[in-house]
Every structure is written in structure tokens, then in C-alpha cells.
Amino acid sequence: METRRIGSLEVSLVGLGCNNFGWRIDRDATARVVDAAVAAGINFFDTADIYGGGASEEFLGRALGERRRDVVVATKFGMKMDDRRRGASPAYVRQAAEDSLRRLGTDYIDLYWLHQPDPNTPIADTLGALDELVKAGKVREIGCSNFSAEQLREATAAARPGAARFVSVQNHYSLYHREPEQEVLPECARQGLAFIPYFPLENGLLTGKYRPGQPVPQGSRADAGFGPKVFTPENLAWADSLRKAAEGQGHTLLELAFSWLAAQPQVASVIAGATTLEQVRANAAAVAWRLRPAERDRFAPPSTSAR
């Protein structure tokens, strides 16, 4: 599989989102999914302390076992674990990192994300604590998630010379949700930041398994109540039109969703979760379609406004 760079890290163009671990699938199923991902050429695993209340990190660490040093593990901190464990104060940065290292069963984190901005902590203080972790060898690279272009600029300005600084940002981006194109992606290009999109399949809207006028498949994310605002008649009709366009060129809608993102120069890896081996394999193979810029620009969201 093609690889791209996140700072000093070399990651597979398709990554595995681990948000299902410890929540939708148990430890044994997690191990099978991780094994399938490694076999398919995926080396980038993205989790967070809040996923499964910490179980995702535990299950991932156990599933990787001796393969830990052969892969890139990213995890996040900052969202509320409980009333005490939240935010991005220096003391909590250190505590959260130690907690994640313990759950993952490792002595270093390849990419440590601040999961969301903390309005109560100056970003310079957070960066200072993260720099300490990098210098101690507990973290290799740092990134941020759910940051605006202005917040990215503030973080860059606040980083001390020679200290660790964000090398990547992870925000919501897909064929359907184009908001990052307005400011964040141009800012990434200016700063040389890698961009990692989350929700690339919009809770399944862009998988091709949902059809206008048909009931949602049992056991699907839509059936479980996820993304109800996405599954509107207008959006289903739009997604179905994309499916037909992709199939007209010998591809699936899922392949279009992944390849469309992969054609964006700032995108380093397309991350999607999986609960089955079939999903892992389909995701890993989805970026084989090389979309040219003119092809990429043909596809528009279901309204003229960016979402």
C-alpha cells in the first residue's frame, strides 16, 4: 500500500480507526480486525482514550502484541473521560499520556493528538507539556483534532523555537462534508501540516449499502441510530447518484469516497473504522482508484453550500 508522511512518521494511505474497539466489538473481534488490517498492508492505527472508556487502547495494545514496533499508533486526549480527567492542562497532559501508555502496553506513542481545543488552557502551556513528552521519548510526534485554521495559526505562533509543534490535524472531511476546504486545508498547505480526515464514509452514507426508498440494513450504523441527520431522502438520492457514477467506471461508492480524499495532496491517511474482516479488506483496497484532479472536481455535495 502507498505510504505518506505525518511529520517523521510513514503511514499507510488507509488507516484503521479504532473507535469500535471495546464498544461495538469485543477483544477477540478486535484482534481479528487488527490482524486483517496488518495483513492488508495497514500500519496506521488511530484510537483515543475515550473510545470504549479506555478499552479501545487496551484491546489494540493486546492485539498488536509483538508487532507494536512495526506499526504507527496514534491516540488522543482531552475529551472528557470523567469530571477529573479532561482538558489540556500540563498536569493532565502528563497524566493522560501515562494512562494511555499503560492501557496500550507500550513505552511510546507515535502520534499524540489533542482531541479538541481547550478554551481554559493556553495552547502554549499544552504545547510545553507535549514537548516534555517528546523530549522524554514517550511521544514521537504531536497533532491536534477539531481545530480551526485560526487555532492552527495560534498554535504555530505559540510553539517555542526548537520545541515540538503540531505536524498534523484531524478534522471531519468527506465527499459530503467539505468545510475544511474553505480554510483548514489551505492552512495545512501553508504550514506543511498533514491532514487526516475522520468520518470519511459519513456513518455509512458513502458505503453504497443504503438506497433511496429501501429500509436500512439490519445491524448497520443507521439501524443503530447513528447519523440520523445524514440519512435524508435528498442525501440518499445524492449518494445513489454517486454510486451509479462510480459503478459506471467500474468502481464502488466506497472506493470513490476513499479515493476522492486520497487525491487531496494534504491528506496523509484516510481513516475508517471496521467491525468485520470484510470491511477492513474493502477499505484497504479502496484507494487503488487514482482520481485525477479533473475527475475529483466532478463530484459535488448534495447542495451548493459546503457542509
pLDDT digits (tens, 9 = 90+) for 64-81: 999 999 999 999 999 999
- The stretch 261-289 carries a mean pLDDT of 96
Q: Find the angle CA(103)-CA(104)-CA(107) to the nearest 5 degrees.
A: 110
- The stretch 185-214 carries a mean pLDDT of 92
Q: Find residue 172's DSSP bridge partners.
A: 198
**Closest residue by Cα to residue 204 from 183, 176, 168, 180:** 176
CA neighbours closer than 13 Å in the CB half-sphere of residue 218: 0
Q: Is the predicted pLDDT of residue 162 greater than 90, yes or no?
A: yes
pLDDT of residue 83: 86
pLDDT of residue 213: 72
How would residue 224 be classed by pLDDT, with cut points 50, 70 and 90?
low
Catalytic residue among 51, 108, 176, 210: 51
Q: Find the angle CA(106)-CA(111)-CA(116) to the nearest 5 degrees.
A: 115
Q: Which domains does the chain have, with CATH numbers?
A: 3-208+253-296 (3.20.20.100)
More reliable by pLDDT, 211 or 111: 111
Radius of gyration of the chain (CA): 19
Cβ atoms 41, 73 nearer than 8 A: no
Least confident of 156-160, 167-171, 229-233: 229-233
Q: Is the predicted pLDDT of residue 231 greater than 90, yes or no?
A: no
**DSSP string for residues in the chain:** --EEEETTEEEESEEEE-TTBTTTB-HHHHHHHHHHHHHTT--EEE--TTGGGGHHHHHHHHHHGGGGGGSEEEEEE-S-SSSSS-S--HHHHHHHHHHHHHHHT-S-EEEEEE-S--TTS-HHHHHHHHHHHHHTTSEEEEEEES--HHHHHHHHHHSPTTS--EEEEEEE--SS--GGGTTHHHHHHHHT-EEEEE-TTGGGTTSS---TTSPPPTTSTTTTT--TTT--HHHHHHHHHHHHHHHTTT--HHHHHHHHHHTSTTB--EEEE-SSHHHHHHHHHGGGS---HHHHTT---SSSS--
pLDDT of residue 145: 98
pLDDT of residue 258: 97
Percent of the chain with pLDDT over 90: 85
- The stretch 149-155 carries a mean pLDDT of 98
How would residue 304 be classed by pLDDT, with cut points 50, 70 and 90?
very low
> Order of strands, edge to edge, in the sheet holding 270-273?
194-198, 166-172, 139-145, 109-114, 72-77, 44-46, 14-17, 270-273
How would residue 199 be classed by pLDDT, with cut points 50, 70 and 90?
very high
More reliable by pLDDT, 197 or 302: 197
- Average pLDDT score over the chain: 93
Beta strand 139-145 pairing with 194-198 = unpaired
In the annotation, is 173 catalytic?
no
- The stretch 143-158 carries a mean pLDDT of 98
Q: Is the predicted pLDDT of residue 283 greater than 60, yes or no?
A: yes
pLDDT of residue 286: 96
Q: Is the predicted pLDDT of residue 99 greater than 70, yes or no?
A: yes
How would residue 228 be classed by pLDDT, with cut points 50, 70 and 90?
low
pLDDT of residue 63: 98
- The stretch 82-90 carries a mean pLDDT of 94
pLDDT of residue 189: 98
